[in-house]
Amino acid sequence: MQELVLNPPARLLSADQSGEEGVASTRREFELRLAECGPLAFRVARSVLRNDADAEDIAQEALLKAYQKFADLRDPSRFRAWVVRIAFRLALDRWRSARRRERRETEWAAPELKPAPPSAEQIAVSNQFQERFERALEELPDKSRFVLVLAAIQGYTLEEVAATLEIPMGTVKSRLFFARKQLAEKLR
């Protein structure tokens, strides 16, 4: 005969557990989520920032914020969605401020100091597809690029992409379609 066990709500559980025991329990539970969501937070941040160091910093910040809100986020699906969304938002903020700073510096810099765009010959000589691909990806509009990279993250569904970007599912699909066509055009 199966025994029916009612799990107490997370808030009550943490309230009943006293002091260090409660903290240790929360920490253990958080560690489980950390192993699952850490890489995802990093990848989402990297899809926006395109930089490993910045993405790591943002992922850490998102996970720390998640720990502070852990009492409200014990449901695994909620936790994962929340971490991804906060990582995306933080990455977007940093990316925008970096872009503003870059624009200011470009405006103040002398024209001769600007790096010259790579020529077709240089690209051909490099013969590295990934480099060429990433350059083509950079040239895409931001909205298209975010959808493309987020949708390519392993284990990250289109529904989750739509929830992270706060757009309808149909918009995600149409952006994916046009972004892939644009990218193919650039790589052809």
Partner 1 sequence: MSCQQIQREILDRLAAGEVSLPGRLTAHQEACAECASYYRAQAQVFQSIDDGLSAVANAPMPPSLLPGVRARLDEPQAPRVFPFHRWTLAAFAAIALAAVAFTFLWHRPTRLSNTVPEVAHVTAPRTVEPKLDAPVIGETAKQVEAMRHPRERFSESKLPVVEPQEEPAPEVIVLAEEREAFARFIAQVPRNPETALALTRPLPKVDGSAVEIALLMIKPVEVKPLEGSEE
Q: How far is the CB of 4 from partner 1 (least distance, A)?
A: 35
Q: How far is the CB of 32 from partner 1 (least distance, A)?
A: 12
Q: In terms of CB distance, is 93 or 105 closer to partner 1?
A: 93
Q: In terms of CB distance, is 13 or 178 closer to partner 1?
A: 178
Q: In terms of CB distance, is 108 or 129 closer to partner 1?
A: 129
Cβ contact 156:39 at 8 Å: no
Q: How far is the CB of 20 from partner 1 (least distance, A)?
A: 14
Give CA–CA dist 26/10, Å, rounded.
Answer: 10
Q: How far is the CB of 127 from partner 1 (least distance, A)?
A: 14
Give CA–CA dist 152/158, Å, rounded.
Answer: 9
Q: In terms of CB distance, is 53 or 116 closer to partner 1?
A: 53
Nearest to 80 by CA among 122, 145, 30: 30
φ/ψ region of 16 (left if φ > 0, alpha if ψ in -120 to 50, else beta) reads alpha
Q: How far is the CB of 101 from partner 1 (least distance, A)?
A: 24
Residue numbers of the site for partner 1 (CB under 8 A)?
27, 34-35, 38-39, 42-43, 46-47, 50, 52, 56, 59-60, 63-64, 67, 129-130, 133-134, 137, 148-150, 152-154, 176-178, 180-181, 183-184, 187-188
Judged on CB neighbours under 10 Å (0-12, 13-18, 19+), 181 is: exposed
> In the 8-state DSSP scheme, what is residue 112?
G
